[in-house]
Amino acid sequence: MSEETVSLNFIEKIIEEDLKAKKNNGAVITRFPPEPNGYLHIGHAKSICLNFGLAEKYNGCCHLRFDDTNPEKEDIEYIDSIREDIQWLGFDWGTNEFFASDYFNKLYEFAEKLIMDGKAYVDGLSPEEIRKYRGTLTEPGKESPGRNRSIEENLDLFRRMKAGEFEDGKYLLRAKIDMSSPNLNMRDPALYRIRRVTHHRTGDRWCIYPMYDFTHPLSDAIEGITHSVCTLEFEDHRPLYNWMVENTGPGHRPQQIEFARLNLTYTVMSKRKLLKLVESGIVSGWDDPRMPTISGFRRRGYTPESIRDFAGRIGVAKANSTVDIALLEHCLRDDLNKRAKRVMAVLDPLKVVIDNYPEGKVEYLEAENNPEDETMGNRKIPFSRELYIEREDFMENPPKKYFRLSPGNEIRLKHAYYVTCTGVVKDETGTVVEVHCTYDPDSKGGWTEDGRKVRGTSHWVSASHAFEGEVRLYSHLFSTEVPGEKTGDFFDDIAEDSLTILKGCMLEPSLKEAEPGEFFQFLRKGYFCVDSRDSSKGKPVFNRSVAMRDTWAKLQKKG
């Protein structure tokens, strides 16, 4: 076997077998079928990368199909956000955008065909009775009296359901399959229900709506989908999927293939839960930078490249597992390390006065934009007598092995000079408010001819040139790896401090004109991007996308 074949995932193997056997005339048509009842999350990103990726790899195409059969939960806002998120990830469905609701007429005809073939019936049992008749995993179900209705009567009742003659819930159309099947999905599943809700596309034209297990396989068949990739929880539905495309529909038979859904530590994923977070006000919206939605990640500063890289690294498996969120963060660092401009920002400023530096003098020092990429060039940063450094980079009474600034100790100011601390000024509470230093004029650029070494390097900004700005730091929204594992309610595991807003940060002047979405590395502090919602011209607000410390890389080294 060539290396290429060895590294194929199990879905690619199936596809390559099919191609060899000339199945589907060599076509590969996949689809991504979101229900427009919320914003897409990182789990959807896995599915998008997989479905669009397969289409790209095998010269096929991937359809975007909105699975819009539940009008009460669906919304145009969600449709727009789904389109935007897929495009942002870098995928293109071209003209292949579809809606299950486009097929309502056809689906209705397929249902009538089932009735005429004696394979569907109208049932008047109440939901409670239906549950009782259904049986359990260990007991077979019981046949409903409606099951023996004549074809003519079924057809008449179904047409009257459609015409709006009955109140909501009075009748169901059910497939006539097998009430004693060991697979509960095969015990005469519902195909149509009566529900008077206005649909965002078909308005009030319909008062009956088709069920998922009916709509989905037949939509796939109508579109000529060859490989219908879905998550594992649909494995038990596969016999039903096959039953639908064999017993009605246009005759094309797509193949359903299940893969393991993505679960991430410290994260809840289902749209239902995410909607609850939004409604509770715990987050500011679907695109809150702490949300695992694609729009949340985008606003947080994740790049499409990093998410696609992540999807590639986690691979496609047949067994459910949970992925460490540190891997996702690692993918982002990996990408931004190569591309982000390095700048200096002091998040918790402490004033430094260099007593032997001339008052009023300003030097513009050369700073490289990215040591990983020379082509990103250099910029000039102003240096003067009064600076800010990070408060944590100074200690008046340091423990041993503290190499940052402290009385009598010499450090390097990045891109600038060596400075030695000569004293401090305190306020009435004893807090250090100013650190005094002298600098070595012969250490310009951060090195000396005598080759003397210093252990600490601090970032800094010139006090009169820096501007004051807001920076937001984030940590996991949940305090436990599997939110809600203990109590069954994920709200019990909401972390208290997932958002820290820092006002009064002192930022390098070049950041003033930064545009929404632009990303940077703040030296030693992490990767940051300009918030796309709360920034305005000349007043950027920065989100920390990810801190510098890479727990994933560390684990890999140890492991």
Hey, which residues are catalytic here? 35, 261, 271
Q: According to the binding rule CB under 6 A, does residue 35 interact with ligand ATP?
A: yes
Phi, psi for residue 216 in degrees, rounded to 5: -65, -55
Size of the site for ligand ATP (CB under 6 A): 14
- Nearest distance, CB of residue 322 and ligand ATP, angstroms: 11
3-state secondary structure of 59: coil
Distance CA 182, CA 190 (A): 17
Helix (H) or strand (E) holding 436: strand 432-439
Q: According to the binding rule CB under 6 A, does residue 321 interact with ligand ATP?
A: no
Phi, psi for residue 470 in degrees, rounded to 5: -105, 135
Q: Which residues bind Mg ion (CB under 5 A)?
A: 35
Choose among ligand ATP, Mg ion, none what residue 157 binds, the Cβ cut-off being 5 to 8 Å by kind: none
Q: According to the binding rule CB under 6 A, does residue 34 interact with ligand ATP?
A: yes
- Nearest distance, CB of residue 81 and Mg ion, angstroms: 16
Candidates 18, 24, 29, 44; binder of ligand ATP (CB under 6 A) is: 44
- 271 or 308: CB nearest ligand ATP: 271
- Nearest distance, CB of residue 271 and ligand ATP, angstroms: 4
- 26 or 312: CB nearest ligand ATP: 312
- Nearest distance, CB of residue 384 and ligand ATP, angstroms: 52
Residues 6+ away with beta carbon under 8 Å from 291: 39, 41, 274, 277, 283, 477
C-alpha distances out from residue 368 to 354, 437, 459, Å: 24, 25, 13
- 35 or 363: CB nearest Mg ion: 35
3-state secondary structure of 73: helix
Checking DSSP bridges between strand 467-474 and strand 499-507, what pairing results, if any?
antiparallel
Work out whether the CA dihedral 269, 275, 279, 283 comes out positive or negative.
Answer: positive
- 35 or 348: CB nearest Mg ion: 35
Candidates 15, 46, 93, 219; binder of ligand ATP (CB under 6 A) is: 46
Residues 6+ away with beta carbon under 8 Å from 371: 342
Choose among Mg ion, ligand ATP, none what residue 244 binds, the Cβ cut-off being 5 to 8 Å by kind: none
Residues 6+ away with beta carbon under 8 Å from 483: 266, 267, 268, 490, 493, 494
- 228 or 545: CB nearest ligand ATP: 228
Q: Which residues pair with 530 in a beta bridge?
A: 542
Binding to ligand ATP (CB under 6 A): which residues in 211-240?
230-231
Choose among ligand ATP, Mg ion, none what residue 261 binds, the Cβ cut-off being 5 to 8 Å by kind: ligand ATP
- Nearest distance, CB of residue 554 and Mg ion, angstroms: 37
Binding to ligand ATP (CB under 6 A): which residues in 245-264?
261-262
- 35 or 56: CB nearest Mg ion: 35
Region binding ligand ATP by CB under 6 A among candidate stretches 2-10, 44-52, 93-101, 425-433: 44-52
- Nearest distance, CB of residue 271 and Mg ion, angstroms: 7
What order of strands is seen across the sheet that includes strand 541-546? 341-343, 519-522, 526-530, 541-546, 467-474, 499-507, 345-346
Helix (H) or strand (E) holding 419: strand 418-426
Residues 6+ away with beta carbon under 8 Å from 472: 289, 499, 500, 501, 502, 531, 541, 542, 543, 544
CA dihedral 351, 353, 357, 360 (to 10 degrees): 60
Token output for 400: 């041993």
- Nearest distance, CB of residue 58 and ligand ATP, angstroms: 19
- 40 or 471: CB nearest ligand ATP: 40
Q: According to the binding rule CB under 6 A, does residue 271 interact with ligand ATP?
A: yes
Q: According to the binding rule CB under 6 A, does residue 270 interact with ligand ATP?
A: yes
Binding to ligand ATP (CB under 6 A): which residues in 481-500?
none
- 43 or 301: CB nearest ligand ATP: 43
- Nearest distance, CB of residue 272 and Mg ion, angstroms: 8
Q: Quote the DSSP letter at residue 476.
A: -
Distance CA 75, CA 394 (A): 53
Candidates 24, 30, 47, 443; binder of ligand ATP (CB under 6 A) is: 47
Region binding ligand ATP by CB under 6 A among candidate stretches 100-108, 268-276, 277-285, 433-441: 268-276
What order of strands is seen across the sheet that includes strand 97-99? 29-32, 61-66, 97-99
Q: According to the binding rule CB under 6 A, does residue 11 interact with ligand ATP?
A: no
- 119 or 273: CB nearest ligand ATP: 273
For ligand ATP, the nearest residue by Cβ is: 43
Q: Give Dmax (Cα) for the chain.
A: 102
Candidates 39, 43, 477, 490; binder of ligand ATP (CB under 6 A) is: 43
Q: According to the binding rule CB under 6 A, does residue 100 interact with ligand ATP?
A: no
What Rg value do the Cα atoms of the chain yield, rounded?
31
- Nearest distance, CB of residue 261 and ligand ATP, angstroms: 3
Distance CA 271, CA 27 (A): 33
Choose among Mg ion, ligand ATP, none what residue 44 binds, the Cβ cut-off being 5 to 8 Å by kind: ligand ATP
Token output for 102: 């486009």
Choose among Mg ion, ligand ATP, none what residue 262 binds, the Cβ cut-off being 5 to 8 Å by kind: ligand ATP
- Contact residues toward ligand ATP (CB under 6 A) are 33-35, 43-44, 46-47, 230-231, 261-262, 269-271
